[in-house]
């Protein structure tokens, strides 16, 4: 079941990304982040009341601190840094930076949880990461065509500084995301899954409002949630990204080693490309098909040797 949860998370997150792309041009990324976190929290509250018999009072104070810190770090801070990185360096460069997520999770799991991968699983991991990196690297012709632009960037100290800062923010954000989910793995044995998700989401929602305000965006901008023109796709994306996907994401980490779950989650990059081709009519090239094949092969190697 853990494998199903992890891959389902990748699919639902990819669908949410495509929906956000079609519906959110008029809303700032940090406002989107706060909106989706608040929607997820509001939906999770009745879910916990209906399906969880656990009482929050039975959670140890230390576990409370870990869960709150995980939500602030892995949802509030991580998403804020990642979105600012995306804004600073653009989608193509950030896609390369994003490949650091799975290795970060594996490193944190090895250090913090003492997990390990066997050789065959390691090959599968490398194959998935290679597919994601391959799909993220521009074609040589594009690189040649943009040589003058790159030279201009080097000549412009301010723009170069912005690019470097964006890369650093992305790397730090992805590392925070990896730490945020990995530290709660030991808590799954004593705290129900739904309670863990709710506490992390609530903490992350409060943190996302704080970071939104800290970055100079008035909280009044949240009313755009109700005034956006493409309401249905945007609302559906909010539900998929921070409720459905979150359920699958944390469940995948509960029932898998975090290193394996992170790699399966990372296939969302490939699903995003496929959905974009189908629903946004983006061109599906031989390069994309090759990357998809590599990723599927890597997922099969990992899952069949679990």
Residue 229 pLDDT: 87
Domain parsing of the chain, residue ranges: 2-304
Residue 238 pLDDT: 92
Question: Would you say 96 and 163 are in contact if contact means Cβ atoms under 8 Å apart?
Answer: no
Q: Write out pLDDT tens, residues 227-274.
A: 998 889 899 999 998 899 989 988 887 887 777 787 787 777 778 778
Burial of 148 (0-12, 13-18, 19+ CB in 10 A): exposed
**In Å, what is the CA distance from 128 to each residue of 71, 101, 270?**
27, 12, 10
Following CA atoms 36, 40, 43, 49 in sequence, which dihedral angle do they give, to the nearest 10 degrees? Answer: -160
**pLDDT classification of 124: cutoffs 50, 70, 90:** confident
- Distance, in Å, from the CA atom of 298 to the CA atom of 126, rounded to the nearest integer, reads 8
Residue 148 pLDDT: 56
Across the range 102-121, mean pLDDT stands at 79
Residue 180 pLDDT: 93
pLDDT at 306 over 80: no
Higher per-residue pLDDT: 207 or 87: 207
Higher per-residue pLDDT: 98 or 120: 120
Helix crossing, 193-214 with 245-255: angle to 10°? 120
**pLDDT classification of 304: cutoffs 50, 70, 90:** low
Q: Kindly state the tokens that stand for 78.
A: 């991580």
**pLDDT classification of 183: cutoffs 50, 70, 90:** very high
pTM: 0.78
């Amino acid at each position: 079941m853990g494998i199903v949860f992890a891959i389902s998370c990748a699919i639902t997150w990819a669908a949410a990304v495509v929906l956000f792309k079609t519906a959110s041009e008029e809303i700032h990324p940090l406002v989107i982040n706060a909106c989706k976190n608040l929607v997820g929290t509001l939906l999770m509250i009745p879910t916990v009341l209906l399906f969880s018999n656990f009482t929050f009072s039975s959670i140890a104070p230390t576990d409370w601190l870990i869960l709150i810190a995980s939500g602030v770090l892995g949802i509030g801070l991580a998403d804020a840094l990642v979105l600012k990185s995306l804004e600073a360096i653009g989608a193509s460069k950030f896609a390369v930076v994003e490949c650091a997520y799975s290795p970060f999770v594996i490193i944190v799991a090895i250090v913090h949880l003492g997990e390990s991968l066997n050789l065959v699983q390691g090959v599968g991991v490398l194959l998935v990461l290679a597919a994601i990196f391959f799909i993220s690297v521009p074609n040589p012709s594009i690189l040649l065509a943009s040589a003058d632009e790159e030279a201009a960037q080097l000549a412009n100290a301010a723009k170069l500084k912005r690019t470097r800062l964006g890369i650093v923010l992305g790397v730090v954000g992805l590392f925070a995301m990896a730490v945020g989910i990995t530290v709660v793995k030991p808590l799954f044995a004593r705290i129900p899954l739904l309670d863990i998700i709710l506490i992390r989401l609530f903490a992350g929602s409060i943190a996302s409002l704080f970071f939104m305000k800290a970055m100079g965006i008035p909280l009044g901008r949240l009313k755009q949630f109700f005034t956006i023109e493409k309401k249905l796709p945007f609302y559906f994306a909010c539900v998929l990204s921070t409720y459905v996907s979150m359920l699958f994401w944390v469940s995948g980490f509960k029932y898998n080693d975090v290193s394996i779950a992170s790699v399966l989650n990372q296939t969302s990059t490939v699903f995003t490309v496929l959905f974009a081709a189908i629903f946004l009519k983006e061109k599906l090239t031989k390069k994309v098909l090759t990357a998809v094949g590599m990723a599927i092969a890597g997922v099969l190697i990992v899952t069949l040797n679990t």
